[in-house]
Amino acid sequence: MKQAHTKRVRDLVDGVLLLDKPVGLSSNDALIKAKRVLNAKKAGHTGTLDPFATGLLPLCFGEATKFSQDLLEADKSYETTVHLGITTTTGDTEGEAIDMRDVDVTLAQIEAVLPQFRGPIMQVPPMYSALKRDGKAYYEYAREGITLEREARPVTILKLELISFETPLLKLAVTCSKGTYIRVLGEDIGHALGCGAHLIELRRTQVGTLTIDGMVTLEALQAHEAPLTLLAPVDALLSSFPAVQLTEELARRFLQGQRLALGKEEGLVLPDTLGRVRVYHDTRLLGTANLQEYAILAPERLIAAAHA
């Protein structure tokens, strides 16, 4: 007689883990491992890192998942090493070499080429990507030997700085808008230098206002006696928004989804600018809202735990 398996009871865990993703692990696999260690019921990540890439992968648990979309939209920073002279099928170390050229490039040539990749640029997404056409990911077509026509898309390179150059390795620091492929940026720089290129290292160092400070490896998470203490609070995702403090009565109404007219409320300090804000009662995060004209506070995303 088969023994019935008891379904594992997951915990309600709220917070953000700043994971230092290792090489060779997909973002989803990293999330699954962290979720298992924390025994968390609900989890999500905030934009994938390629398996060969390392660095900052913010993982959201519980109520934090409500705000993960903000990080998908956020600017991101990387350090990358570009190997000049070799082009691969994937633009990184995961692929096979398809073209090899001599690298006869000077520092002056590199510094002359980099400015054309700063600011708003057009970028053609790679075939080895999770973008979809007709419900099928580009990388699935690529593995079948099919190359699709892809339209160039606008992205913005906010920072592109040379860290070092020692033939054939070019190390760069990049800050870019969402949707930017650093693999493609490396390939395009190699193409502009006339020798081709692929990435051999890619490390993400910042997502929005979140930085590598406080990052935790999977090994450290798994070995920690109290792994939940490694989580940052939910509002770590919201630090770029001004804060609004509500009285107990206003907080109660806010959590019922009511729009609040704060103009005549005495003692409330409101931000100078309109737009998205994070809302508190004392130290308790209630959610986010839009501060509109005439000091109207319109609830946006509410924290369920704040009702407790």
In this structure, what are the phi and psi dihedrals at residue 198, rounded to the nearest 5 degrees? -150, 160
**The 243-245 sheet, strands edge to edge:** 243-245, 275-281, 284-292, 296-302, 260-261
Look up residue 83 and give its amino acid.
Answer: H
For strand 119-123 and strand 54-61, is the pairing parallel, antiparallel, or unpaired? unpaired
In order of 116, 235, 253, 280, 283, the CA distances from 307 in angstroms are: 52, 16, 11, 12, 14
- Active site residue: 11, 14, 20, 50, which one? 50
Instruction: Round to whole Å and give the CA distance between 155 and 111.
Output: 21
Per the omega criterion (within 30 degrees of 0), is the bond before 168 cis? Answer: yes
Residue written as token pair 């054309």: 116
Q: What is the rounded distance in angstroms from the CA atom of residue 199 to the CA atom of residue 209?
A: 25
50 given a catalytic annotation? yes
Asked whether the CA dihedral 21, 25, 29, 32 is positive or negative, the reply is negative
Active site residues: 50
